Structure 1
């Protein structure tokens, strides 16, 4: 069965962005050890799942070949098919991306039930929160940056109940970021 993973950067106080979506707090330079971790995380992935708001910046940014990124990462991001979760888009304005709307649980069941590699989402905030609240993720890879924001868009919001998670691994990288690999404890 395909695994559905979340990878998100966050502050130590649990925010993935500032109150207005600011990302200027992401100042840790990537080091070789975190690059290797992320390469291993995305290697089995054959589909990227994004929320509409994130897709609007994410897809064009990777298509432009962001400065400082290695070509293999650029190719992986551009060549991997994407699914954009949106109830406001009827069709995709991007190459190599399809739009799915409606019941999130049914969408995830459809995406994970077929053959293929793993799926990964990077959010945005609304999609990540909805996936966590509905317990639809198999793995959470939280990249905890050594900064506190005080307020912003939380990773965990409106979960509706306590969610028990199992810590699979924790790893600190040379850049100061710590990765927490968590999996939901399911009955």
Structure 2
């Protein structure tokens, strides 16, 4: 059985995934915390784009060293193997970090074929897009916040072809956040206007 690749993103109602630190925290509660930490239980490898890696590496080692409430989760992240994608040579100070030698699809496909624990991403939108386009992402976890941010980068950019997905699981939190889990849809629905109209009389 091959490894599973899972991506998790905070996303607004209008599809924005940029700078969640500016709109996400009012909606954080125990339900969301449990959902985020549960996704790491089977993870062995973390994939990052450079910006997300810099954000994580600038925060979690300090939280681990501080020994506070988040220290256990911070240590868990630090102990995982971390692979970073970038076109330029990077200095990677966080332990167990390495720069990918190859493009996203190539490296991800090779990792999936190896035995071991699962592979996860948090943020890293450019990497998520490439995995979706290559058909390598097994699960896309979207924590949909009930706010229209109205500015910033959105998850899905302009492009062809379309990417059909199917809903695997869903859950509504007390804050109004929806925890939606999608997977690839290998047999998406078909039909057009006539078929839609025909269903109205059924």
Separation in 1, partners of 2:94, 2:70: 22
What's the counterpart of residue 97 of structure 1?
A: 97
TM-score normalised per structure 1: 0.88
What residue number does 2:40 align with?
A: 42
Bigger mean CA offset, 34-43 vs 2-11: 34-43
Q: After TM superposition, give the deviation of residue 40 of structure 1 in Å.
A: 2.0
Report 1:76-115 matches (<5 A). Answer: 76-89=76-89, 92-115=92-115
Describe the shift of the 1:3–1:159 C-alpha distance in structure 2 as closer, same or farther (beyond 3 A).
Answer: farther
Structure 2 counterparts to residues 6-85 of structure 1, below 5 A: 6-17=7-18, 21=19, 23-65=21-63, 70-85=70-85
Name the structure where helix makes up a greater proportion of residues: 2
Unmatched tracts of structure 2, length 5 or more: 188-202
- Deviations 1:106-156 (Å, cap 9, x if unpaired)? 111111111111110113222222222332210000011111122321111
Cα distance in 1 for residues equivalent to 2:8 and 2:20: 18
Contact residue 4 and residue 139 of structure 1 kept, 8 A: yes
The RMSD of aligned alpha carbons is 2.1
Please give the secondary structure, in 2, of the residue aligned with 1:64. Answer: helix
Q: Are residue 140 (structure 1) and residue 140 (structure 2) matched? A: yes
Q: Work out whether residues 5 and 119 of structure 1, in 8 Å CA contact, stay in contact via their aligned partners in 2.
A: yes
> Aligned residues, how many?
184
Q: 1:123 to 1:38 in 2, by over 3 A?
A: closer
Q: Which has the higher contact order (CA 8 A, sep 6+)?
A: 1
Which has more strand, going by share of residues?
A: 1
Once the two structures are overlaid, the 10-residue window that deviates more, 57-66 or 134-143, is 57-66
Map of 2:153 onto structure 1: 153
Distance 1:22 1:31 in 2: 15
Alpha-carbon separation, structure 2, partners of 1:142 and 1:69: 25
